[in-house]
Amino acid sequence: MNIIIQDLEHIREAARTFIENIGDHTVFAFYGKMGAGKTTFIKAICEELGVDDIITSPTFAIVNEYSLTSHHSPLTSDSVYHFDFYRIKKLEEVYDMGFEDYFYSGALCLIEWPELIEEVLPDDAVKVCITENADGTRTVSF
């Protein structure tokens, strides 16, 4: 599926379309160049799911946990985990953080820079590509 994000004013609409089409999947690996809009799109997804927390990139923490306070989402869990593996130097760091507890929890896991940890991603992780187009729009493919 392809979703076009025209501009920031329409990103929440794109996030709603994404959520409507996630099915039973819980682990999403977001691929895209630096500045493609991975964090911004994940933030919009979390806002559409009802996260009231401040949503920021977990670049230094590696993972942020958000709680769904108003449960108007298709998720079975009240937690969303947002990962940013950009600073991972060795796969041992991922083992040390207990990635299995997150990835196999049934909670929604939104992962930035998954190419650095691909060998530990669940087989059913959904690959999401965000591409910046020449006209400034973004295409989200999954």
The answer, as to whether pTM is greater than 0.85, is yes
Cβ neighbours of 44 (radius 10 Å)? 23
Angle at 125 between CA 64 and CA 83, to 5 degrees: 15
Q: Could you tell me the strand order of the sheet in which 27-31 lies?
A: 2-5, 138-141, 126-132, 27-31, 108-112, 79-84, 63-67
Predicted pLDDT of residue 74: 61
109 near 100, Cβ under 8 Å?
no
Place 52 in a pLDDT band, splitting at 50, 70 and 90. confident
pLDDT digits (tens, 9 = 90+) for 78-131: 899 999 999 999 999 999 999 999 999 999 999 999 999 999 999 999 999 999
In percent, the amount of the chain with pLDDT more than 90 equals 84
The mean pLDDT of 33-46, rounded to a whole number, is: 96
Residue 79, judged by CB atoms within 10 A of its CB (0-12, 13-18, 19+), counts as middle
Confidence at 61, pLDDT banded by 50, 70, 90: confident
Eight-state DSSP code of residue 29: E
Q: What is the pLDDT of residues 11-31, one digit of tens each?
A: 999 999 999 999 999 999 999
Compute the distance between CA of residue 129 and CA of residue 36 in angstroms, rounded to an integer. 10
Task: Give the residue-averaged pLDDT of 49-75.
Answer: 80
Answer positive or negative: Cα dihedral of 23, 24, 30, 35: positive
